[in-house]
Structure 1
Amino acid sequence: MSTLANARDVLRLLARLQRDLTVTDVAGALDLPKSSVSRTLSMMAEYGFLDRDPVSRAYRPGELVMEASYHFRASRSTASLLEEELAKLVADIGYTGYVDVLDGAESLVLHMRIGTVGALQAYTPAGTRAPAYASSMGRALLARLDDAQVLRLVDARLEQATGSAPRTPGELVSSLARVRADGWESSRGEFVPNVAGISAAVVDGETGQVFGIGIALPAPELRHENEARFGRAVRDAARRVGKRIGDPYWLRYVAE
Protein backbone atom coordinates (compact mmCIF):
# COMPACT_ATOMS: atom_id res chain seq x y z
CA MET A 1 0.00 0.00 0.00
CA SER A 2 1.33 3.46 -0.85
CA THR A 3 2.33 6.06 1.71
CA LEU A 4 -0.45 8.33 0.45
CA ALA A 5 -3.07 5.63 0.95
CA ASN A 6 -1.71 4.96 4.44
CA ALA A 7 -1.92 8.66 5.26
CA ARG A 8 -5.52 8.73 4.06
CA ASP A 9 -6.39 5.80 6.31
CA VAL A 10 -4.69 7.45 9.29
CA LEU A 11 -6.77 10.61 8.82
CA ARG A 12 -9.93 8.53 8.50
CA LEU A 13 -9.05 6.72 11.72
CA LEU A 14 -8.51 10.03 13.51
CA ALA A 15 -11.89 11.26 12.30
CA ARG A 16 -13.64 8.08 13.42
CA LEU A 17 -12.03 7.70 16.85
CA GLN A 18 -11.76 11.44 17.62
CA ARG A 19 -8.74 11.07 19.88
CA ASP A 20 -4.96 11.09 19.68
CA LEU A 21 -3.44 7.98 18.12
CA THR A 22 -0.33 6.01 18.97
CA VAL A 23 1.71 3.89 16.60
CA THR A 24 0.19 0.82 18.26
CA ASP A 25 -3.35 2.16 17.72
CA VAL A 26 -2.79 2.69 14.01
CA ALA A 27 -0.91 -0.55 13.45
CA GLY A 28 -3.70 -2.53 15.10
CA ALA A 29 -6.56 -0.73 13.36
CA LEU A 30 -5.00 -0.82 9.89
CA ASP A 31 -3.27 -4.19 10.23
CA LEU A 32 0.12 -2.76 9.26
CA PRO A 33 3.63 -3.32 10.64
CA LYS A 34 4.61 -0.87 13.37
CA SER A 35 7.74 0.08 11.45
CA SER A 36 5.68 1.11 8.42
CA VAL A 37 3.18 2.98 10.58
CA SER A 38 5.96 4.80 12.43
CA ARG A 39 7.47 6.02 9.15
CA THR A 40 4.08 7.16 7.83
CA LEU A 41 3.19 9.05 11.00
CA SER A 42 6.62 10.69 11.18
CA MET A 43 6.34 11.82 7.57
CA MET A 44 2.81 13.16 8.12
CA ALA A 45 4.07 15.13 11.12
CA GLU A 46 7.03 16.45 9.14
CA TYR A 47 4.72 17.87 6.46
CA GLY A 48 2.16 19.34 8.88
CA PHE A 49 -0.62 16.78 8.55
CA LEU A 50 -0.11 15.62 12.15
CA ASP A 51 1.26 17.00 15.42
CA ARG A 52 2.91 14.81 18.05
CA ASP A 53 2.32 15.33 21.76
CA PRO A 54 5.73 15.75 23.40
CA VAL A 55 4.64 13.86 26.53
CA SER A 56 2.35 11.04 25.35
CA ARG A 57 4.06 10.78 21.92
CA ALA A 58 0.61 10.27 20.39
CA TYR A 59 -0.45 11.97 17.17
CA ARG A 60 -3.30 14.41 16.53
CA PRO A 61 -4.42 16.48 13.50
CA GLY A 62 -1.72 18.94 12.51
CA GLU A 63 -1.75 22.60 11.63
CA LEU A 64 -2.27 22.00 7.92
CA VAL A 65 -5.33 19.80 8.47
CA MET A 66 -6.82 22.16 11.05
CA GLU A 67 -6.29 25.20 8.82
CA ALA A 68 -7.91 23.48 5.85
CA SER A 69 -10.83 22.41 8.03
CA TYR A 70 -11.27 25.96 9.34
CA HIS A 71 -11.36 27.48 5.87
CA PHE A 72 -13.78 24.80 4.65
CA ARG A 73 -16.18 25.39 7.54
CA ALA A 74 -15.93 29.16 7.15
CA SER A 75 -16.95 29.01 3.50
CA ARG A 76 -19.47 26.13 3.55
CA SER A 77 -22.44 25.95 5.90
CA THR A 78 -24.11 22.69 6.86
CA ALA A 79 -27.31 23.83 5.15
CA SER A 80 -25.50 24.57 1.88
CA LEU A 81 -23.82 21.17 1.92
CA LEU A 82 -27.20 19.51 2.45
CA GLU A 83 -28.70 21.52 -0.40
CA GLU A 84 -25.96 20.22 -2.71
CA GLU A 85 -26.66 16.66 -1.64
CA LEU A 86 -30.39 17.25 -2.05
CA ALA A 87 -29.92 18.33 -5.65
CA LYS A 88 -28.15 15.05 -6.41
CA LEU A 89 -30.69 13.03 -4.42
CA VAL A 90 -33.69 14.54 -6.23
CA ALA A 91 -31.99 14.10 -9.61
CA ASP A 92 -31.37 10.43 -8.79
CA ILE A 93 -34.72 9.50 -7.21
CA GLY A 94 -36.99 11.99 -8.93
CA TYR A 95 -39.21 13.00 -6.01
CA THR A 96 -39.42 16.39 -4.29
CA GLY A 97 -36.79 16.91 -1.59
CA TYR A 98 -36.36 19.09 1.47
CA VAL A 99 -33.78 20.47 3.86
CA ASP A 100 -35.23 21.28 7.30
CA VAL A 101 -33.96 22.47 10.66
CA LEU A 102 -35.27 21.56 14.12
CA ASP A 103 -36.80 24.67 15.71
CA GLY A 104 -38.07 23.84 19.17
CA ALA A 105 -40.70 21.14 18.80
CA GLU A 106 -41.18 21.82 15.09
CA SER A 107 -39.41 21.07 11.84
CA LEU A 108 -38.93 24.16 9.70
CA VAL A 109 -38.43 23.89 5.93
CA LEU A 110 -35.33 25.77 4.77
CA HIS A 111 -35.16 24.59 1.17
CA MET A 112 -37.41 22.68 -1.22
CA ARG A 113 -36.40 21.18 -4.57
CA ILE A 114 -39.18 20.04 -6.88
CA GLY A 115 -38.86 16.54 -8.27
CA THR A 116 -39.48 15.28 -11.78
CA VAL A 117 -41.75 12.30 -11.07
CA GLY A 118 -44.90 11.71 -9.06
CA ALA A 119 -47.81 14.02 -8.57
CA LEU A 120 -47.85 15.41 -5.04
CA GLN A 121 -51.14 17.22 -4.38
CA ALA A 122 -49.46 19.37 -1.72
CA TYR A 123 -45.98 20.70 -1.21
CA THR A 124 -44.32 22.48 1.67
CA PRO A 125 -42.25 25.51 0.63
CA ALA A 126 -39.52 27.18 2.66
CA GLY A 127 -40.92 28.58 5.92
CA THR A 128 -43.44 25.80 6.45
CA ARG A 129 -43.56 24.36 9.96
CA ALA A 130 -44.80 21.01 11.21
CA PRO A 131 -44.88 19.19 14.57
CA ALA A 132 -41.58 17.34 14.66
CA TYR A 133 -43.03 14.06 15.97
CA ALA A 134 -45.53 13.87 13.07
CA SER A 135 -43.30 13.29 10.03
CA SER A 136 -40.25 11.34 8.95
CA MET A 137 -38.29 14.60 8.78
CA GLY A 138 -39.28 15.66 12.27
CA ARG A 139 -38.49 12.30 13.86
CA ALA A 140 -35.14 12.13 12.07
CA LEU A 141 -34.38 15.53 13.63
CA LEU A 142 -35.65 14.54 17.09
CA ALA A 143 -33.62 11.33 17.01
CA ARG A 144 -30.46 13.43 17.28
CA LEU A 145 -31.55 14.57 20.76
CA ASP A 146 -31.70 12.35 23.82
CA ASP A 147 -35.08 10.99 24.90
CA ALA A 148 -35.40 13.33 27.88
CA GLN A 149 -34.90 16.37 25.66
CA VAL A 150 -37.44 15.04 23.17
CA LEU A 151 -40.13 14.43 25.77
CA ARG A 152 -39.67 17.91 27.23
CA LEU A 153 -40.13 19.38 23.74
CA VAL A 154 -43.18 17.47 22.55
CA ASP A 155 -45.05 17.57 25.87
CA ALA A 156 -48.77 17.00 25.21
CA ARG A 157 -48.56 17.62 21.47
CA LEU A 158 -48.78 13.89 20.74
CA GLU A 159 -52.53 14.22 21.28
CA GLN A 160 -52.65 15.86 17.84
CA ALA A 161 -51.11 12.82 16.08
CA THR A 162 -52.60 11.80 12.76
CA GLY A 163 -52.00 8.95 10.33
CA SER A 164 -49.25 6.60 11.51
CA ALA A 165 -47.57 9.19 13.78
CA PRO A 166 -46.71 8.06 17.33
CA ARG A 167 -49.56 8.65 19.76
CA THR A 168 -47.82 8.10 23.09
CA PRO A 169 -44.43 9.05 24.53
CA GLY A 170 -43.51 5.37 24.55
CA GLU A 171 -44.30 4.98 20.86
CA LEU A 172 -42.26 8.08 20.06
CA VAL A 173 -39.23 6.95 22.07
CA SER A 174 -39.41 3.53 20.41
CA SER A 175 -39.54 5.04 16.92
CA LEU A 176 -36.57 7.31 17.67
CA ALA A 177 -34.50 4.34 18.83
CA ARG A 178 -35.16 2.70 15.48
CA VAL A 179 -34.16 5.88 13.63
CA ARG A 180 -30.86 6.02 15.52
CA ALA A 181 -30.14 2.41 14.60
CA ASP A 182 -31.17 2.65 10.93
CA GLY A 183 -29.95 6.18 10.18
CA TRP A 184 -33.23 7.15 8.48
CA GLU A 185 -36.98 7.36 9.10
CA SER A 186 -40.10 6.95 6.98
CA SER A 187 -43.67 8.18 7.35
CA ARG A 188 -47.00 7.77 5.57
CA GLY A 189 -49.89 10.22 5.60
CA GLU A 190 -49.11 12.03 8.84
CA PHE A 191 -48.85 15.83 8.84
CA VAL A 192 -49.74 15.99 5.13
CA PRO A 193 -52.43 13.40 4.21
CA ASN A 194 -51.57 10.91 1.46
CA VAL A 195 -47.91 11.99 1.39
CA ALA A 196 -45.03 9.75 2.47
CA GLY A 197 -41.55 10.82 3.43
CA ILE A 198 -38.07 9.46 4.07
CA SER A 199 -35.52 11.53 5.99
CA ALA A 200 -32.21 11.59 7.85
CA ALA A 201 -30.43 14.24 9.92
CA VAL A 202 -27.06 15.74 10.84
CA VAL A 203 -25.89 17.93 13.72
CA ASP A 204 -23.75 21.02 13.20
CA GLY A 205 -21.10 20.74 15.89
CA GLU A 206 -20.41 24.47 16.01
CA THR A 207 -23.99 25.69 16.40
CA GLY A 208 -25.67 22.58 17.81
CA GLN A 209 -28.42 22.91 15.21
CA VAL A 210 -30.02 19.75 13.86
CA PHE A 211 -30.64 19.72 10.10
CA GLY A 212 -32.58 17.18 8.08
CA ILE A 213 -32.63 16.03 4.47
CA GLY A 214 -35.42 14.03 2.92
CA ILE A 215 -37.79 13.27 0.07
CA ALA A 216 -41.59 13.35 -0.16
CA LEU A 217 -43.75 11.28 -2.48
CA PRO A 218 -47.37 10.12 -2.85
CA ALA A 219 -47.98 7.55 -0.13
CA PRO A 220 -49.11 4.80 -2.55
CA GLU A 221 -45.77 5.12 -4.37
CA LEU A 222 -43.76 4.25 -1.24
CA ARG A 223 -43.81 0.47 -1.44
CA HIS A 224 -41.93 -2.27 0.34
CA GLU A 225 -39.70 -2.88 -2.67
CA ASN A 226 -38.46 0.73 -2.89
CA GLU A 227 -38.62 1.96 0.72
CA ALA A 228 -35.29 0.48 1.79
CA ARG A 229 -33.56 1.72 -1.37
CA PHE A 230 -34.86 5.25 -0.86
CA GLY A 231 -33.95 5.06 2.82
CA ARG A 232 -30.36 4.10 2.05
CA ALA A 233 -30.09 6.89 -0.53
CA VAL A 234 -31.29 9.54 1.92
CA ARG A 235 -29.17 8.10 4.73
CA ASP A 236 -26.06 8.11 2.56
CA ALA A 237 -26.66 11.73 1.55
CA ALA A 238 -26.84 12.72 5.22
CA ARG A 239 -23.83 10.58 6.07
CA ARG A 240 -21.66 12.27 3.44
CA VAL A 241 -22.47 15.68 4.88
CA GLY A 242 -22.13 14.39 8.44
CA LYS A 243 -18.64 13.11 7.78
CA ARG A 244 -17.60 16.36 6.11
CA ILE A 245 -18.70 18.44 9.12
CA GLY A 246 -17.40 15.99 11.73
CA ASP A 247 -20.77 14.83 13.07
CA PRO A 248 -19.84 12.12 15.64
CA TYR A 249 -22.92 10.01 14.85
CA TRP A 250 -22.02 9.69 11.17
CA LEU A 251 -18.30 9.28 11.87
CA ARG A 252 -19.14 6.23 13.97
CA TYR A 253 -22.00 4.92 11.83
CA VAL A 254 -21.44 1.58 10.13
CA ALA A 255 -23.99 0.69 7.44
CA GLU A 256 -25.34 -2.84 7.29
Structure 2
Amino acid sequence: MRDVLDLGELHAEVTRKAIKHVHLSVLPPAGKVRVAAPQSMELDTLRLFVISKLAWIRSQQRKLQNQERETPREFLNKESHYLWGKRYLLEISFADAAPAVSLTPRKLQLQVRPGSAPARCEEVLDAWYRQQVRDVVPALLAKWEPLLGVKAARVFVQRMKTKWGSCTPESGYIRLNTDLAKKPPECLEYIVVHELVHLLEPTHNERFASIMAMYLPQWQHLRRQLNSLPVRHEDWSY
Protein backbone atom coordinates (compact mmCIF):
# COMPACT_ATOMS: atom_id res chain seq x y z
CA MET A 1 0.00 0.00 0.00
CA ARG A 2 1.27 3.46 -0.87
CA ASP A 3 0.64 6.74 0.94
CA VAL A 4 0.88 10.20 -0.57
CA LEU A 5 2.23 13.19 1.31
CA ASP A 6 0.43 16.35 0.19
CA LEU A 7 2.66 19.38 0.78
CA GLY A 8 0.79 22.02 -1.18
CA GLU A 9 2.22 22.04 -4.72
CA LEU A 10 4.46 19.08 -3.89
CA HIS A 11 3.21 15.51 -3.67
CA ALA A 12 5.49 12.73 -2.44
CA GLU A 13 4.64 9.07 -2.96
CA VAL A 14 5.56 6.88 0.02
CA THR A 15 6.39 3.19 -0.32
CA ARG A 16 6.90 1.01 2.78
CA LYS A 17 9.81 -1.44 2.67
CA ALA A 18 11.81 -3.68 5.00
CA ILE A 19 14.62 -1.13 5.29
CA LYS A 20 16.28 0.77 8.15
CA HIS A 21 16.66 4.20 6.58
CA VAL A 22 14.54 6.62 4.57
CA HIS A 23 15.46 6.92 0.88
CA LEU A 24 14.32 10.03 -0.96
CA SER A 25 14.30 10.08 -4.79
CA VAL A 26 13.44 12.74 -7.33
CA LEU A 27 12.59 10.95 -10.56
CA PRO A 28 12.88 12.08 -14.18
CA PRO A 29 11.62 13.54 -16.33
CA ALA A 30 9.48 16.02 -14.36
CA GLY A 31 10.82 15.48 -10.84
CA LYS A 32 8.30 13.13 -9.28
CA VAL A 33 9.13 12.65 -5.58
CA ARG A 34 9.23 9.15 -4.13
CA VAL A 35 10.05 8.13 -0.56
CA ALA A 36 11.01 4.60 0.47
CA ALA A 37 10.45 4.33 4.21
CA PRO A 38 10.76 1.72 6.97
CA GLN A 39 7.46 -0.02 7.57
CA SER A 40 7.15 1.24 11.15
CA MET A 41 7.86 4.93 10.48
CA GLU A 42 4.95 7.29 11.15
CA LEU A 43 3.62 9.38 8.27
CA ASP A 44 4.01 12.60 10.29
CA THR A 45 7.70 11.80 10.81
CA LEU A 46 8.09 11.31 7.08
CA ARG A 47 6.28 14.57 6.42
CA LEU A 48 8.80 16.47 8.58
CA PHE A 49 11.67 14.68 6.85
CA VAL A 50 10.44 15.65 3.37
CA ILE A 51 9.80 19.25 4.47
CA SER A 52 13.40 19.43 5.71
CA LYS A 53 14.56 18.37 2.23
CA LEU A 54 12.38 20.77 0.22
CA ALA A 55 15.28 22.96 -0.93
CA TRP A 56 17.18 19.88 -2.17
CA ILE A 57 14.05 18.50 -3.88
CA ARG A 58 13.45 21.76 -5.74
CA SER A 59 17.09 21.87 -6.81
CA GLN A 60 16.93 18.31 -8.16
CA GLN A 61 13.69 19.01 -10.00
CA ARG A 62 15.23 22.03 -11.73
CA LYS A 63 18.24 19.95 -12.80
CA LEU A 64 16.04 17.21 -14.24
CA GLN A 65 13.83 19.59 -16.13
CA ASN A 66 16.83 21.38 -17.64
CA GLN A 67 18.92 18.28 -18.43
CA GLU A 68 19.60 17.59 -22.08
CA ARG A 69 18.14 14.37 -23.46
CA GLU A 70 19.19 12.24 -26.37
CA THR A 71 16.96 12.15 -29.40
CA PRO A 72 15.21 8.77 -29.80
CA ARG A 73 17.51 6.15 -31.31
CA GLU A 74 16.23 4.91 -34.70
CA PHE A 75 19.10 2.50 -35.40
CA LEU A 76 19.93 3.86 -38.82
CA ASN A 77 23.30 3.91 -40.53
CA LYS A 78 25.49 6.89 -39.54
CA GLU A 79 23.48 7.49 -36.38
CA SER A 80 25.67 8.66 -33.46
CA HIS A 81 26.32 6.24 -30.62
CA TYR A 82 28.82 6.49 -27.77
CA LEU A 83 31.24 4.27 -25.88
CA TRP A 84 33.21 5.59 -22.88
CA GLY A 85 32.47 9.16 -23.95
CA LYS A 86 33.69 8.74 -27.54
CA ARG A 87 31.35 9.17 -30.52
CA TYR A 88 30.97 6.45 -33.14
CA LEU A 89 28.83 6.24 -36.26
CA LEU A 90 26.53 3.24 -36.42
CA GLU A 91 27.00 0.82 -39.30
CA ILE A 92 24.41 -1.96 -39.54
CA SER A 93 24.97 -5.15 -41.52
CA PHE A 94 22.80 -8.23 -41.92
CA ALA A 95 23.92 -11.86 -41.80
CA ASP A 96 22.33 -15.20 -41.05
CA ALA A 97 24.50 -15.59 -37.96
CA ALA A 98 24.54 -14.67 -34.29
CA PRO A 99 24.29 -10.92 -33.62
CA ALA A 100 27.60 -9.18 -33.03
CA VAL A 101 28.99 -5.73 -32.21
CA SER A 102 32.48 -4.51 -33.07
CA LEU A 103 34.38 -1.23 -33.20
CA THR A 104 36.65 0.51 -35.66
CA PRO A 105 38.30 3.85 -34.84
CA ARG A 106 35.20 5.71 -36.04
CA LYS A 107 32.40 3.16 -36.41
CA LEU A 108 30.26 1.00 -34.18
CA GLN A 109 29.43 -2.00 -36.34
CA LEU A 110 26.23 -3.87 -35.50
CA GLN A 111 25.51 -7.17 -37.22
CA VAL A 112 21.99 -8.60 -36.93
CA ARG A 113 19.94 -11.20 -38.77
CA PRO A 114 18.04 -10.13 -41.92
CA GLY A 115 14.69 -8.55 -41.14
CA SER A 116 15.65 -7.52 -37.60
CA ALA A 117 13.53 -4.62 -36.35
CA PRO A 118 14.99 -1.55 -34.58
CA ALA A 119 13.82 -3.02 -31.25
CA ARG A 120 16.02 -6.05 -31.86
CA CYS A 121 18.98 -3.81 -32.74
CA GLU A 122 18.45 -1.94 -29.50
CA GLU A 123 18.28 -5.20 -27.54
CA VAL A 124 21.56 -6.45 -29.02
CA LEU A 125 23.33 -3.14 -28.43
CA ASP A 126 22.04 -2.85 -24.85
CA ALA A 127 23.41 -6.31 -24.08
CA TRP A 128 26.75 -5.27 -25.53
CA TYR A 129 26.84 -2.08 -23.43
CA ARG A 130 25.98 -4.13 -20.34
CA GLN A 131 28.93 -6.40 -21.02
CA GLN A 132 31.26 -3.42 -21.44
CA VAL A 133 30.42 -2.31 -17.91
CA ARG A 134 30.72 -5.85 -16.54
CA ASP A 135 34.17 -6.18 -18.07
CA VAL A 136 35.45 -3.02 -16.36
CA VAL A 137 33.85 -3.34 -12.93
CA PRO A 138 36.08 -6.12 -11.46
CA ALA A 139 39.20 -3.98 -11.76
CA LEU A 140 37.42 -1.03 -10.12
CA LEU A 141 36.25 -3.23 -7.25
CA ALA A 142 39.75 -4.65 -6.82
CA LYS A 143 41.05 -1.09 -6.55
CA TRP A 144 38.42 0.48 -4.29
CA GLU A 145 37.13 -2.26 -1.98
CA PRO A 146 40.48 -2.62 -0.12
CA LEU A 147 40.91 1.15 0.10
CA LEU A 148 37.45 1.62 1.60
CA GLY A 149 37.50 -1.56 3.67
CA VAL A 150 34.21 -2.81 2.22
CA LYS A 151 33.04 -5.71 0.08
CA ALA A 152 30.07 -5.69 -2.29
CA ALA A 153 28.12 -8.94 -2.02
CA ARG A 154 26.99 -8.72 -5.66
CA VAL A 155 27.11 -6.16 -8.45
CA PHE A 156 24.33 -6.07 -11.04
CA VAL A 157 24.49 -4.14 -14.31
CA GLN A 158 21.06 -3.29 -15.68
CA ARG A 159 19.05 -0.71 -17.55
CA MET A 160 17.88 1.90 -15.03
CA LYS A 161 15.53 4.76 -15.78
CA THR A 162 15.97 6.90 -12.70
CA LYS A 163 19.48 6.39 -11.30
CA TRP A 164 23.08 5.91 -12.39
CA GLY A 165 23.51 3.40 -9.59
CA SER A 166 22.08 2.18 -6.31
CA CYS A 167 23.18 0.34 -3.21
CA THR A 168 21.26 -1.77 -0.71
CA PRO A 169 23.50 -1.71 2.38
CA GLU A 170 21.51 -4.43 4.15
CA SER A 171 22.30 -6.98 1.44
CA GLY A 172 25.51 -5.49 0.10
CA TYR A 173 24.02 -5.45 -3.41
CA ILE A 174 25.08 -2.72 -5.84
CA ARG A 175 23.35 -1.92 -9.12
CA LEU A 176 24.91 0.03 -11.99
CA ASN A 177 23.20 1.60 -14.98
CA THR A 178 24.08 0.00 -18.33
CA ASP A 179 24.25 3.48 -19.88
CA LEU A 180 27.40 4.27 -17.88
CA ALA A 181 29.25 2.51 -20.72
CA LYS A 182 28.37 5.50 -22.90
CA LYS A 183 29.91 8.05 -20.52
CA PRO A 184 33.60 8.85 -19.87
CA PRO A 185 35.31 6.08 -17.83
CA GLU A 186 35.84 8.34 -14.81
CA CYS A 187 32.05 8.64 -14.47
CA LEU A 188 31.69 4.89 -13.95
CA GLU A 189 34.49 4.94 -11.40
CA TYR A 190 32.77 7.76 -9.51
CA ILE A 191 29.50 5.81 -9.37
CA VAL A 192 31.28 2.62 -8.21
CA VAL A 193 32.99 4.55 -5.40
CA HIS A 194 29.73 6.34 -4.54
CA GLU A 195 27.85 3.07 -4.13
CA LEU A 196 30.67 1.37 -2.20
CA VAL A 197 30.74 4.30 0.23
CA HIS A 198 27.06 3.64 0.89
CA LEU A 199 28.17 0.36 2.49
CA LEU A 200 29.84 2.57 5.10
CA GLU A 201 27.20 5.32 5.22
CA PRO A 202 23.72 4.60 3.78
CA THR A 203 22.59 8.23 3.52
CA HIS A 204 23.91 11.33 1.74
CA ASN A 205 24.83 13.08 4.98
CA GLU A 206 27.97 14.96 6.00
CA ARG A 207 29.76 11.73 6.87
CA PHE A 208 29.09 10.39 3.38
CA ALA A 209 30.43 13.60 1.81
CA SER A 210 33.53 13.56 4.00
CA ILE A 211 34.34 9.94 3.08
CA MET A 212 33.91 10.72 -0.60
CA ALA A 213 36.16 13.78 -0.27
CA MET A 214 38.81 11.76 1.54
CA TYR A 215 39.07 9.01 -1.06
CA LEU A 216 37.90 10.76 -4.26
CA PRO A 217 38.54 14.50 -3.81
CA GLN A 218 37.16 15.38 -7.26
CA TRP A 219 33.88 13.52 -6.70
CA GLN A 220 31.67 16.62 -6.88
CA HIS A 221 33.25 17.64 -10.19
CA LEU A 222 32.64 14.11 -11.53
CA ARG A 223 29.05 14.22 -10.33
CA ARG A 224 28.47 17.52 -12.15
CA GLN A 225 30.16 16.14 -15.26
CA LEU A 226 27.96 13.04 -15.31
CA ASN A 227 24.77 14.92 -14.60
CA SER A 228 25.49 17.47 -17.34
CA LEU A 229 25.71 14.81 -20.05
CA PRO A 230 22.65 13.93 -22.14
CA VAL A 231 20.61 11.04 -20.79
CA ARG A 232 18.82 8.33 -22.74
CA HIS A 233 15.49 9.17 -24.31
CA GLU A 234 12.89 7.11 -22.48
CA ASP A 235 9.16 6.55 -22.50
CA TRP A 236 8.78 7.71 -18.90
CA SER A 237 5.70 5.75 -17.88
CA TYR A 238 5.28 4.70 -14.27
> Counting helix residues as a fraction of each chain, which structure ranks higher?
1
> Counting strand residues as a fraction of each chain, which structure ranks higher?
2
Question: Normalised by the size of structure 2, how large is the TM-score?
Answer: 0.25
Structure number with bigger Rg? 1
Question: Normalised by the size of structure 1, how large is the TM-score?
Answer: 0.23
